[in-house]
Structure 1
Amino acid sequence: MVFSSILFMFIYLPIILAVYYICPLKWRNFWLFIVNFVFYGWGEPVYIVLMLFSIFINYINGLFIEKYKKTDRKRAKAVLVVNIVINLSLLVFFKYFDLLANTLNQMVGSVLILPLNLALPIGISFYTFQTMSYPIDLYRGDTRVEKNFINFGSYVALFPQLIAGPIVRFKDIADQLRSRIHSSDKFSSGVRRFTVGLAKKVLIANNVGILWDTYAAMPASELTVVGSWLGIIAFTFQIYFDFSGYSDMAIGLGRMIGFEFLENFNYPYISKTVTEFWRRWHISLSTWFRDYVYIPLGGNRKGKRRQLLNILIVWALTGLWHGANWTFLVWGMYYAAFLIIEKLWLLKALDRSPNFVGHIYTVLVVICGWVI
């Protein structure tokens, strides 16, 4: 079920909102808990079990981490490590098993492992990162433990941001799960934001995407330089308006039920460097990798060589997060190369150059990146 569908907008959403505002305050999270799973299981009901398992494991391990983090730090860390392994194992199995199996089969020249051809559980890349951030923050002392299973389950499966983000950390909405503000102004703001996102998706992304689809379907012999550039530029706009449109709709839906999510896009195509672009594009993902991978690896605190290695690791993982194909690893390394070059010398050169030089450079790098 997608936000722009007739089913969602004219049946599912009105029912959710009507019952939500009729319910007493203490029952609203329970209602969200129920409708989240209706939304999640609409296409593949079997994966409701997977979601419930993920919620239960992270909820229980969170309680154990809270119990031991002050009295037995080693045991708390062991629970955290086990929890991370479980989350990553689920993600790797459902998203990357076939990629690894096919790669191994190609390397040895025979079928050693049969691909499973499983349908990818909706939102697993997003909610896995959410569930991993919770126990890590708990262990670090950056958030409080959630003892209410319904509240925690509502957070993990919250339908507005389940499909395409933003990646919401528990510490950012922990207080909102217990008590959040509802007002006509906030609701109307949510409706406006949802409408803006819907327009981006339906009126711009879908229509611009037609041009890209036409180009992508053409035989190589019929492609022209001008046509190729038009197709690539169309895809550049399509992916932005599609993705940012979903984020706008998610933020708007969140406001309709009292939640405030952090922004996920901040006009990325006006950036003057690739570094700046990734501070403006899919902000919740880039900050997640910064806080839970880059900084724990040492960030920029252990010398220039270690910093550059950390960038390579982060962007290898970022690329693979986007898709189960080695092309995405190449895409991640592509951006890592430019980020490293900027760290070494290019940022200083761009600072001394007119702004339009940085804009042109960044747009060209990004466009070529989408081609990969």
Structure 2
Amino acid sequence: MVFSSLLFLFVFLPAVIAAYFLMPKKRRNLILFIFSLMFYAWGEPVYIILMLFSTLTDYFLGRYVERFKERNQIGQAKLMMILSVIINLSLLGFFKYGDFIIYNISSIFEISYRGMKLPLPIGISFYTFQTMSYTIDIYRGEAEAQSNIIDFGVYVSLFPQLIAGPIVRYKTIARQLKERQETIKSFSYGAKRFLFGLGKKVLFANNIGLIWEEVYKARSSELSVLSAWIGITAFALQIYYDFSGYSDMAIGLGSMFGFRFLENFNYPYMSKSITEFWRRWHISLGSWFKEYVYIPFGGNRKGPLKHIRNITAVWLLTGIWHGASWNFVLWGGYFALLLIAEKLILSKLLKKLPAIINHLYALIFILFSWVIFAFESVEGGIQYFKAMFGITSSGIIDNQGIYLLYTNIILFLILFIGSTDYPSRAANKVFTKYFKGNLMPAAIECTVLIIIFTLSIAYLVDGSYNPFLYFRF
């Protein structure tokens, strides 16, 4: 089940809202826990056992970590923390990377291997990182162990951010699990944020995604330069509106139930460098790796060589986190090289160049990264790069490219502008200057939200193309 589905919008969400707010406050976490398990079970019911196992394991290990620390038995506390990390990584490794590892070993020794072909547990990459951070934070003394198993179960399984984040660290919502306030203001903000996210996903990501689908299915050797660049630009916009829209919906749903999740995107395509891009894109993942890998490894404090080592390690892990395929390893290595180059050389040069040049530099290398990301076959990615640079027989411009550009130029322009902060800044300026103190801004906002909801539902009823790109991570 995904948020942008009629089942979620008209059955699941109304049911959980009604049950939640009809219950007394002390029972509301139980309602969230039950409905979150139901939400998870819709995809793979058998994997509820896996989530419950992970929940129980980290709940008890967290309690042991705290108990040993209170007794000043630091060695035993560290052992419990390490055990939690090993169990979580083992689960993630088995289900997500088992076939990949065994297949590559089999290839080296020329052994036939058909693979286990287990379905990937939904959201396992997200909730294993959350549960690991829980025991690590208790060991560090940055969080207290949760005594209520239901409250901890809500933290692990909370459906708004279960399958695609943002990755929520326990210490950021520990108090909210017990003391959050559900208000009309937070609910209305959450509903508004959810609807804007729904529009980004359904109206923008799905429509621009159809362009990428058409280009992706064509043979790269038959693509002109124009078609190839249109295709990868469409993919870049699709994955942004798809993932950021889903994050908006998750943040909005959290607010409806009184939770405050941290932002996960901050207009990443406005970046002037790759370093800035990764401060703006999937912020929760970058923060997690910085907090639990980069800094513990020494960050930039132990000399340039170890600094390079730490950047490389973080970005190879970031690539592997996204999927069990060599293209993701290359994707992570690609960003590691760019970030190292910026740290050592490019940052000083970029500061001397005009802002527009910096923007173009960042956008071009980001587009190149999406080619690596989009093609699980490394050979497929190479062929697509050839098309982008005209190393094919199809030339620079062809009828397909002209048709795609001509019929979708308005959509591209809307999505380009929408990926910046200019619309929100302009709206705030107009409302502040001309409508301050009256109801016009609220009326306009309500009208826009009604239009977004109506169009989104019409699309979902009529359309069959409704993918979610990060669902498989």
TM-score range with shorter-chain normalisation? Answer: over 0.9
1:222 CA displacement: 2.5
- What pairs up with 1:1-372 in 2 under 5 angstroms? 1-70=1-70, 71-111=72-112, 114-372=114-372
Contact 1:312 1:333 in 2 (8 A): yes
Contact 1:101 1:114 in 2 (8 A): no
State the one-letter code of the partner of 1:72: Q
Residues 238-274 of structure 1: CA distance to partner in whole angstroms, max 9, x if unpaired?
Answer: 0000000000000000011110100000000001110
SS of 1:263 mapped into structure 2 = coil
How far apart, in 2, do the equivalents of 1:368 and 1:179 lie?
Answer: 46
How far apart, in 2, do the equivalents of 1:254 and 1:146 lie?
Answer: 20
How far apart, in 1, do the equivalents of 2:290 and 2:254 lie?
Answer: 25
1:221 CA displacement: 3.7
How far apart, in 2, do the equivalents of 1:342 and 1:222 lie?
Answer: 35
How far apart, in 2, do the equivalents of 1:142 and 1:297 lie?
Answer: 19
Contact 1:59 1:152 in 2 (8 A): yes
Contact 1:193 1:252 in 2 (8 A): yes
Q: What count of residue pairs does the alignment treat as equivalent?
A: 371
Structure with the larger RCO, 1 or 2 (CA within 8 Å, 6+ apart): 2
State the one-letter code of the partner of 1:147: S
1:176 CA displacement: 0.5
State the one-letter code of the partner of 2:90: S
Give the corresponding residue for 2:397. Answer: none
1:220 CA displacement: 2.8
How far apart, in 1, do the equivalents of 2:221 and 2:350 lie?
Answer: 38
How far apart, in 1, do the equivalents of 2:83 and 2:164 lie?
Answer: 27
* Percent pairwise identity: 55
SS of 2:132 mapped into structure 1 = helix
How far apart, in 2, do the equivalents of 1:19 and 1:159 lie?
Answer: 15
How far apart, in 2, do the equivalents of 1:89 and 1:251 lie?
Answer: 29
How far apart, in 1, do the equivalents of 2:265 and 2:219 lie?
Answer: 35
State the one-letter code of the partner of 2:200: K
1:127 CA displacement: 0.1
1:213 CA displacement: 0.3
1:114 CA displacement: 4.9
SS of 1:262 mapped into structure 2 = coil
1:101 CA displacement: 1.3
How far apart, in 2, do the equivalents of 1:149 and 1:22 lie?
Answer: 22
Give the corresponding residue for 2:471. Answer: none
Moved over 4 A (4+): none
Residues 204-230 of structure 1: CA distance to partner in whole angstroms, max 9, x if unpaired?
Answer: 000000000000011234311111110
SS of 1:109 mapped into structure 2 = coil
How far apart, in 1, do the equivalents of 2:21 and 2:220 lie?
Answer: 55
Residues 324-343 of structure 1: CA distance to partner in whole angstroms, max 9, x if unpaired?
Answer: 10110000000000000000
State the one-letter code of the partner of 1:142: E
How far apart, in 1, do the equivalents of 2:188 and 2:363 lie?
Answer: 35
Judge which range, 333-342 or 220-229, deviates more: 220-229
How far apart, in 1, do the equivalents of 2:291 and 2:98 lie?
Answer: 27
How far apart, in 1, do the equivalents of 2:262 and 2:34 lie?
Answer: 24
How far apart, in 1, do the equivalents of 2:123 and 2:43 lie?
Answer: 12
Judge which range, 222-231 or 261-270, deviates more: 222-231
How far apart, in 2, do the equivalents of 1:25 and 1:251 lie?
Answer: 21
Q: Which has the larger radius of gyration?
A: 2
How far apart, in 2, do the equivalents of 1:139 and 1:304 lie?
Answer: 29
How far apart, in 1, do the equivalents of 2:215 and 2:84 lie?
Answer: 45
Residues 176-223 of structure 1: CA distance to partner in whole angstroms, max 9, x if unpaired?
Answer: 000111111110100110001000000000000000000001123431
How far apart, in 2, do the equivalents of 1:339 and 1:220 lie?
Answer: 29
Contact 1:99 1:325 in 2 (8 A): yes
1:353 CA displacement: 1.2
Q: Give TM-score scaled by structure 2 length.
A: 0.78
CA RMSD across the alignment? 0.8
Structure 2 gaps of 5+ residues are 373-473
State the one-letter code of the partner of 2:162: L
Contact 1:167 1:284 in 2 (8 A): yes
How far apart, in 2, do the equivalents of 1:221 and 1:296 lie?
Answer: 46
SS of 1:46 mapped into structure 2 = helix
How far apart, in 1, do the equivalents of 2:238 and 2:69 lie?
Answer: 46
SS of 2:45 mapped into structure 1 = coil
How far apart, in 2, do the equivalents of 1:239 and 1:291 lie?
Answer: 25
How far apart, in 1, do the equivalents of 2:22 and 2:276 lie?
Answer: 45
How far apart, in 2, do the equivalents of 1:221 and 1:110 lie?
Answer: 33
How far apart, in 2, do the equivalents of 1:80 and 1:18 lie?
Answer: 39
State the one-letter code of the partner of 2:303: G
Structure 1 gaps of 5+ residues are none
How far apart, in 1, do the equivalents of 2:338 and 2:306 lie?
Answer: 17
